Structure 1
Amino acid sequence: MTQTTREQAARTLTQIEEVTAVVLPEPGTEIVALEAATGDRQDAIRSRMAELDMANTQSIISFGSKAQAELQVISQEMLADVKNKDAGPAGDSLRRIVTTIRGFSSSELDMRRDRSWWEKLTGRAAPFANFVARYETVQEQIDKITEELLRHEHTLLKDIRALDMLYEKTLNFYDELALYIAAGQAKLDDLDATTIPAKIAEVSGASEDDQVKKAQELRDLRAARDDLERRVHDLKLTRQVTMQSLPSIRLVQENDKSLVTKINSTLMNTVPLWETQLAQAVTIQRSREAAEAVRGANDLTNELLTKNAENLRETNRVVREEMERGVFDIASVKQANEQLIATINDSLAIADEGKARRAAAEAELQKMEAELRDTLASASARPSASQPQG
């Protein structure tokens, strides 16, 4: 709600107190007859009786009409004002502001909720960004609706004052009807007691030539008397309906006063409370986001500490093992020594084997040489075929 709207609502509170403090008078119920009236009231009844001309039918028909003229003026002004209004009922604005607040769902803020497939497909903004945008939209709607409520409040205050005037004019009309009814009834009593009996006497005492004329005047007088009686009866019915309209006006006025008070309470108390709660929701979410960031940083720090400790332990183990190792591993030295001894043994065995093969070969060569020598000797001693045998 804007500061201007808040200030106007505060100023309107004084006007509300003024209109709600007005106490409307109660209407009277008794019609005071001319004989029982005194002073100004008796003079008022007689002045209204003077408006009647029994020889003029129009005066009988319009008897009491002047009392309603002022009431019609104020009623027509109120109806014209209603026609000129372009704003809807104040209740609609209240319902719209409630709907707006209810549509503001803080569940959208849950950063841990799983996004729907549609949100993933459309790549919707982060929940908090959506929330802030939604908050700004709701704030604009609240400002607009509160301005409407303020206009409704001013209109209702104007209506309440107009209803005060209407009630006053209706009450005056109600009292005027009582005077006209009393005047009409007094006139009827005078006609029945004085005027008509006198006219009857005139008819009876008239000459034969004037008797028809006098009789017609008597019939006209009685017809006028009956018209007046019907008119007085209509005025009594009108007075009864008017009396019923007075509490109706008060009821409408009380409803308007209650609604004005409710609107003002909404503007001064409820809307600021809603705005405070919405602002708190945004602040709380920002705190949650900050806490999430801090928790992420702490988790990362703890993870790094754990990983570094593990890496330090592993590296220290490798380094210490290498530091504690000799230049040569004893196993490697032993294996190398065994391989060296085996190599020497293999060399000796190969040498012995070669020596034996050479000795065997030498013996074989000697044998072969001897055999060759013997063969050659035998060949030399055998005689040839050309020599005679002895």
Structure 2
Amino acid sequence: MTDTVRSAAASALAEVEKVTAVILPEPGAAVVALPEASPDQAAAIRKRMDEIDMGNSQSILAFGSAAQAELQVISQDMLSGVKNKDVGPAGDSLRDIVTTLRGFSVSELDVRRERSWWERLTGRAAPLARFVARFEEVQGQIDKITGTLLTHEHTLLKDVKSLDLLYAKTLTFYDELALYIAAGAAKLAEVDARDIPAKAAAVAAAPEADQVKAAQELRDLRAARDDLERRVHDLKLTRQVTMQSLPSIRLVQENDKSLITKINSTLVNTVPLWETQLAQAVTIQRSKEAAVAIREANDLTNDLLTSNAENLRETNRVVRTEMERGVFDIEAVKQANAALIATIEESLQIADEGKARRAAAEEDLVKMEHELRDTLAAARSRADGTGASLGGTV
């Protein structure tokens, strides 16, 4: 935020407090009738009663309209001021500044965050450099929006003051209507109690030639009385509508005051605080980057020391193990000796098995030879009939 805007916002703070501290008076109570009115009120009511001429219908129709003249002038001036405004809603500017701040992420400062594929593809700037560039861009937007907010604030201050004047005039008109209503009611009571009976008596006492004229005057008086009653009723309705407009004016004022307070708080407190916090974030991140670089250097040194020590240990273990070994490992000699013994035993076993098989084969051969001889001898004895002797000879 520029120094000019900051100074203007600070100077407007007193005016904002002054405007927001104004308490609007409440509208008065019910209409006070002439018999119950104070001397000042009674004098005001009689003064307005004198404006009524029961013989002039125009005075009855215009009864109470003079009170509206000044209120209409104030309302037209205020509407003209609203039409001539060349500024957008202040709420839009507040939303713009919130949107701008929310769109600026401090997480972009994290140099260790994983970059997106788009950042890797386009080779975008380092996070801190891009963050600072983004900060300058957002700073320009904030300066522009704060200038617009200051303009809104001055406009709203004028609106609130205009509404104060409109409220006061409306309240005066509201009280003035009460006097006119009381005056009309008193005049109606006077006409009903005095004028109409007197005119009716005059009609009854008039000569026959004048009775038609007197009766017409009585009818005109009664018609004027009815017009006055309707006019008083209209004034009562107008007073009711006026009473309803007072809370509306107050509600608009309260909304404008709340918006003024929010704008001034944003200009005086929120934006400077945001700028301070952002500057601190940039400074802290730079310190953090330096600390990270130092830590990475220390970690690299520690990794080298640890790796060298581990490599020395592994190398020493391998070398010493090889140095302590003999030409032949005793386990290898044992395995070779066991294999040799097993081979000899297996050879002896195979030889014994072969000898046993040969002995069994010799027995089988002798058996087969005897069986063959017996078979041949039996065959010859069948041929020459001397099988018995041949068999005994064999």
Same fold (TM over 0.5): yes
Offset of residue 295 of structure 1: 4.8
- Pairing 1:244–2:235 present: no
Letter in 2 for 1:280: Q
Distance in 2 separating the partners of 1:292 and 1:22: 56
1:200 aligned counterpart, secondary structure:
helix
Q: Tell me the distance in 1 between the aligned counterparts of 2:302 and 2:25.
A: 81
**Structure 2 segments unaligned to the other structure (5+ residues):** 313-394
2:76 — aligned with what? 76
Matched, 1:277 2:277: yes
TM-score (normalised: structure 2): 0.72
2:213 maps to a residue whose letter is K
Per-residue deviation, 1:69: 1.1
Structure 1 stretch 274-283 or stretch 206-215: which is displaced more? 206-215
CA distance in 1, matches of 2:296, 2:66: 86
Instruction: Please give the per-residue CA displacement for 1:301-337, whole angstroms capped at 9, x wherever unaligned.
Output: 7789999x99xx9xxxxxxxxxxxxxxxxxxxxxxxx
Counterpart residue type for residue 154 of structure 1: H
The equivalences for 1:1-390 within 5 A come to: 1-295=1-295
What amino acid does structure 2 have at the position aligned with 1:79? L
Query: For the residues of structure 2 that align with 1:7 and 1:183, how far apart are their CA atoms?
Result: 55
Once the two structures are TM-superposed, the CA of residue 192 in structure 1 deviates from its matched residue by 0.5
How big is the shift at 1:148?
Answer: 1.8
Deviations 1:15-59 (A, max 9, x none): 122223323222211322222334332221112112112222222
- Other-structure match for 1:382: none
Gaps of 5+ in 1: 314-390
Cα distance change, pair 38–291 in 1 and its aligned pair in 2 (3 A): closer
Which has the larger displacement, 247-256 or 69-78?
Answer: 247-256
Q: In 1, distance between residues paired with 2:113 and 2:46? A: 87
- 2:83 partner letter: K
Structure 2 CA distance, aligned partners of 1:189 and 1:304? 112
Aligned-residue Cα RMSD (Å) equals 2.4
Task: Give the TM-score, by structure 1 length.
Answer: 0.73
After superposition, the C-alpha distances for 1:224-275 in whole angstroms (9 at most, x for unaligned) are 1111101101111111221222233223222322222222222211111111
Tell me the distance in 1 between the aligned counterparts of 2:20 and 2:305.
72
**Partner amino acid, structure 1, of 2:115:** R
Matched to 1:50, the amino acid is D
Query: How much has 1:202 moved relative to structure 2?
Result: 2.0
What letter corresponds to residue 254 of structure 2 in structure 1?
E
Taking the aligned partners of 1:40 and 1:110, their CA distance within structure 2 comes to 77
Amino acid at match of 1:164: D
Which structure has the bigger radius of gyration?
A: 1
Q: Which one-letter code corresponds to 2:265 in the other structure?
A: S
- What residue identity is the alignment partner of 1:268? V
Secondary structure at 2:73 match in 1: helix
What letter corresponds to residue 203 of structure 1 in structure 2?
A: V
Aligned to 1:331: none
- Separation in 2, partners of 1:304, 1:36: 104
Offset at residue 128 of structure 1 (A): 1.9
Quick one: percent identity of the two aligned structures?
A: 75
Q: State the alpha-carbon separation in 1 of the partners of residues 14 and 155 from structure 2.
A: 15
1:154-203 Cα offsets, whole Å, 9 max, x none, are 12221221121111111110110011001111111111011111111222
Q: What is the CA–CA distance in structure 2 between the aligned matches of 1:276 and 1:143, rounded to whole Å?
A: 15
Deviation for aligned residue 1:64? 0.5
Moved more, 19-28 or 161-170: 19-28
User: In terms of mean alpha carbon deviation, does 247-256 or 175-184 score higher?
Assistant: 247-256
Please give the alpha-carbon distance, in whole angstroms, between the structure 2 residues aligned to 1:189 and 1:99: 66
Deviation at 1:10, TM superposition (A): 1.3
